Each structure stands twice: as C-alpha cells, then as structure tokens.
A = this chain, B = another copy of it.
Amino acid sequence: MKKYLLTPGPTPLPPEVRKAAARPIVHHRTPQFKEIFAEVNQGLKYLFQTKNDVFTFAASGTGAMEAAVVNLLSPGDKAIAVCGGKFGERWVEICESFGVEAVKIDVEWGKAVEPAEIKDVLSKHKDTKAVFTTLCETSTGAVCDIKAIGQIIKPTPAVLVVDAISALGAEDLKTDDWGVDCAVVGSQKGMMLPPGLSFISVSPKAYKLIEESKLPKYYFELKKAKKSLDKSDTVYTPAISLIVALGEALKLIKKEGLENIFKRHKMMASATRDALRALGFRLFSGTFCNVLTSAYVPEGIDSTKLVKLMRDKYGVSVASGQAQLKGKIIRIAHLGYIQPADIIKGISVLEQALAELGCKVESGKGVAAAKKVFQSTK
C-alpha cells in the first residue's frame, strides 16, 4: 500500500534526498567532505536567516536542546521556560536535570504565550540567564510570537533560545532580525530529511555565555565544536550520509526560495483548517500554524482509533493527541515535502474513515473546502 506521511516529523523525503542518502560513503576527514560541509553550512545560514554559526550534531532535536542548556548555563543559574505543551516541558526537564533553576511560564495548551507575560516574569527575575521558548508547539499547534519576545529580551542580559525543531522551514523565523540567540532545529521536519541530525545557531551574545558556562558537557560541547566548524570540520565523526542528503535538501530549499516555501505552507495550513471545519471539527489551537493543524475530533469519535484506521486501511499517517489530549484531537501536518495534492488525499481519507466510524459526513465536503483555498490562492 502506498503510504502518505502527514505527520509533524518524520515528514516525507524528496527523491533527491533519498538518492543522496544512498550514495557511497565519503570519508569525513577529506577535502571532498569539507567542501560539501562548507556548502551545507552556508545553506544552513540561508535557512536560519542568520549570519551566525550553525552547528550540526549527530543527534535528534532533543540533543540540540540539551546542547543549548549545557553550553549556555552554569549550575544554579536561573532560566525562564515557556510551557504550553510537551516540548516546552522538555526545556524544564533538561534544565532541572542539569541543576538549572527553571522559572516556568505555564500557558494553556493550544494557546501562545503573551509576550507581556515574559516581560513581567523577566522583571521579577532579573538574574535570568536564558529564556527558553518553542516556536511551534508540535503537541498542540500553537505558534509563539518570537519577534515580539525578541524585542523584550534583546535589551536584557538574558539570551533567547527558540526550539524551532518542527517549525524551521515552515514558519518564518528571522533569527538575526528578531534577536534569536540560539535556534534549535531537527532534520526530520521542514528540512525534509530523515531524523538523526540536529542544529543550533549561536549569536555573539550567546557565545559570551558559552565562554562562562560551567555545566559539564562533552559530546555537545560548542567551544570545541566552534574550532572545528571554523575549518568546515566536526569534532567527532559526523552523520555523513545525512549531511550529504542535507546538501540536496538545501538545494531544493534555495531553489523554491524561503518566501515561496512559507507561502505554500500557509496555503496548505489554511486549506487544512477549512477542510476540518467543513467536516465538523473544532480547531484546537487559537493560533494559525503553518506546521500542523490540530483539531478536536467530532463528538463520539476516538481520535486514536481514527488515526489507526486512516493509517492501517488507507496508508495515510496523521498524528493523534499526546498526553492529556490523547484520543481527543488529531494533528495533520503540512510541512516539508508535503504538497497540496497530499492534503487533498489526506482529507479524502479522513472523510472516508470518519464515515466508517459512524460519523455523519457529507462525502467530498472537506476536500471541496481545501480545494477552494488552493484554487483561490493560485
């Protein structure tokens, strides 16, 4: 059965990327690899919209999150963590694992943090070293106003760290213009790669904290990594085949252009929202998210069953709810190598699965709503 991934990571792989991942392996301590890596590093700057260094780890996104904490902070330091979902909570967990005091800003799941609240908490905790945020909370679909948050944090001594793991390449993130000191990203989302790579950008302000940081670290140490990066090299053996594939993905990204990519994502998000509304779903998040759309399933439907039916009978993978949202919501991703036709297919299968689960839906109503968006945008 042909499979369609409409999940917020991993996302589907373009054929160019799959082909590149299968190339014979090239040794990493050679001019040949250094050339590839240097080009990749330039491409990453384009994608991150930054002039800062972008480091690549052989690790999942969580590894790069840990890198942010252990490289920026020292034992007993204070940090603010915005928690509006599973991934915001992860910042708190990492901080606490390493003896960093995390001041939590709890945000209702599905809502985005009010920038004013960050300002307020910062003014009460003037010794805050870092503010940890999430651009897109993949567990809910809420999107943070990083631009506004950046303006608040810029004049303070604190650095702004953004978990953009699922969002980069789908949501606009102007790393330099918005004052993002560290953006953390994973490969298996908007970057259209298999999982296994993660990234962190580092601003001059962040480098100052890195110089002072006393938390223990080795594999994720950035001071050492910086020396290698300056020579287009890595400290430890890099995930070569994934980096070669990344080179191809970055070529595709440059060719389409960031502006066009954001436009496509916005259009697919809009189409998905309209389709779900037409099918009687209530949108879960109050914010409009280009990465994924989350929505309460209609009354009487268990979203876990719905997701299973769509996947096992029709080959279409969407995500169910996590933690307290289990069984209640579905999350349809529209990022990376997902195109309008994939959304149509996904909505059509959703309609079919809903009907089979006894939900009254007018066949084609969701598809028509999505198509309308695609047609009117073009």
Interface residues of A (CB under 8 A from B): 3, 5, 7, 9-13, 18-19, 21-28, 30, 57-63, 66, 93-94, 97-99, 186, 188, 194-196, 215-221, 236-242, 311, 317
Contacts and interface: CB of A to CB of B under 8 A. Distances in A.
Given A94-B218, A196-B196, A22 B30 contact: no
A61 B236 contact: yes
A60 B237 contact: yes
Given A22-B18, A186-B237, A237-B186, A311 B242 contact: no
Nearest to A188: B237
Contacts of A94: 218
Contact of A21 (B5, B7, B28, B241): B241
A67 to B, nearest CB: 9
Contacts of A59: 57-59, 63, 219
Q: Which 8 A-B pairs have the closest CB atoms?
A: A196-B239, A22-B22, A194-B241, A18-B22, A60-B236, A195-B237, A62-B236, A97-B218
A13 B215 CA distance: 38
25 contacts: A7-B27, A10-B26, A19-B22, A21-B22, A21-B241, A25-B188, A30-B311, A57-B59, A60-B219, A60-B236, A61-B236, A61-B237, A62-B236, A62-B237, A63-B63, A63-B219, A94-B218, A97-B218, A97-B221, A188-B240, A194-B242, A196-B239, A196-B242, A216-B216, A242-B242
Nearest to A11: B25
Nearest to A9: B237
